[in-house]
Amino acid sequence: MIHNSLGFPIETVIVFIVLALTAIIIDLYAHHNDKPINLKNAVKWSLFWIAVALGFTLYLYLHHGSAIASLFITGYVLEKALSVDNLFVIMAIFSWFSVPENYRHRLLYWGVIGAIIFRAIFVIIGTGLLALGPWMELVFSVIVAFTGFMMLKNQGENEEIKDYSNHFAYRIAKRIFPAYPKIVGHHFLLTSKQLDQELAKPENSDLIGKLPKRALYATPLFLCITVIELSDVMFAFDSVPAVIAVSQEPLIVYSAMIFAILGLRTMYFVLEAMKQYLVHLGKAVICLLFFIAIKLALNASNHLFGHGIDISPITSLYIVLGILAIGIIASIIWPEKDHHKAN
């Protein structure tokens, strides 16, 4: 059996790539039009992506055993959970840029493409750093714990709409391309010819002479996606160390993250509809980060001092699922008080 640098037989890598690409093609074919995704369809497609991940889990279980399958599914669930906070940020970005619902899936698609690329880079760097020794696990533990403390500190501030005009990515994009202030279909960039066509419309007459002569112009959708991409890079600094805490096998880490990320587009619309009912899910995510920080610290100290205390993959999976379940149940039992008062 031929193994590659990812530590698994080449057949397993091929199965992962083929399964992921097939699912992406099916998804793209089903959502190639600019149509809003309702809650019913979003739930169906979210279940589809979960089924794809479970299919790969079954393959790992049959060919590599229960331990490897547990590592994958734990990493998958963890990445899904940590993505909740990222999706809340994307909701705020969409609101600030006033992105119509029928274009949000297209933007999420490009956000996912960027996430796939950035995750590959961070997984390679992260697993490479951990190979330097157990002290790096302690460093990762501190990073994850710091993220948890920052999220805990910012609890309750999510309702405030951030001004993204000062965002680094927004300012850089506007320096490269002059910004056209209105959304033009699903275009990210406008050519000078397309701009002239837009300025010829009576409702845009006030913009004539206010834009410099350039070959390309950025629309609000382009500025929006640049902010989303950079935000995802920052998110990767937190999520990659957390998933690496579950397994240091690059293929397990990357495949778990990719299958979780690929389902985020439709999960966004489910979360958007259910946001007001999952008020304590954010707290569960914070607890998950602290758990991962403790797991990393235990692994590092065990390697350094040999105390023998370790958290098995199965136990990690149960803890992750248990924390998420508590967050959901708590949201049902203790709904947001302010929401009821407002009504």
Do 202 and 192 form a contact (C-beta atoms < 8 A)? no
Q: Is residue 213 part of a domain?
A: no
CA distance linking residue 106 with residue 112, whole number of Å:
10
Per the domain annotation, does 197 fall within a domain? no
Cα 61 from chain centroid (whole Å): 26
Q: How many CB atoms lie within 10 A of CB 58?
A: 11
At residue 253, the 3 state secondary structure works out as helix
Mean of all residue pLDDT scores within the chain: 84
Instruction: Name which of 168, 165, 193 is nearest 181 in CA terms.
Output: 165
Arithmetic mean of pLDDT, 161-174: 85
Q: How many domains, the chain?
A: 1
Query: 16: part of which helix (H) or strand (E)?
Result: helix 10-30
Residue 282 counted as domain residue? yes
Task: Check pLDDT > 90 for residue 153.
Answer: no
Distances (CA, A) of 208 to 39, 191, 192, 197: 41, 15, 13, 11
Residue 188 in domain: no
Dump the DSSP string for 67-89. HHHHHHHHHHHHHHHHHHHHHHH
Residue of higher predicted confidence among 39 and 224: 224
At position 59, the amino acid (one-letter code) is Y
Establish if 111 belongs to a structural domain.
yes
Q: Quick one: DSSP state of residue 191?
A: E
Residue 273 binned pLDDT confidence (cut-offs 50, 70, 90): confident
**Structural domain includes residue 186:** no
The number of C-alpha atoms within 13 Å of 188 and in the hemisphere containing its C-beta is: 10
Does the pLDDT of residue 18 top 90, yes or no?
Answer: yes
Confidence of residue 160 (pLDDT cuts 50, 70, 90): low
Output the pLDDT for position 7.
64
The per-residue pLDDT for 53 is 93
* Residue 175: domain span: 10-179+219-342
Number of other CB atoms surrounding residue 166 within 10 Å: 8
Query: How far apart are alpha carbons 72 and 66 in whole angstroms?
Result: 10
Residue 189: its H or E element: strand 189-191
C-alpha dihedral sign at 80, 82, 87, 90: negative
Write down the pTM of the prediction.
0.82
Residue 237 belongs to some domain of the structure: yes
Residue 71 lies in a domain: yes
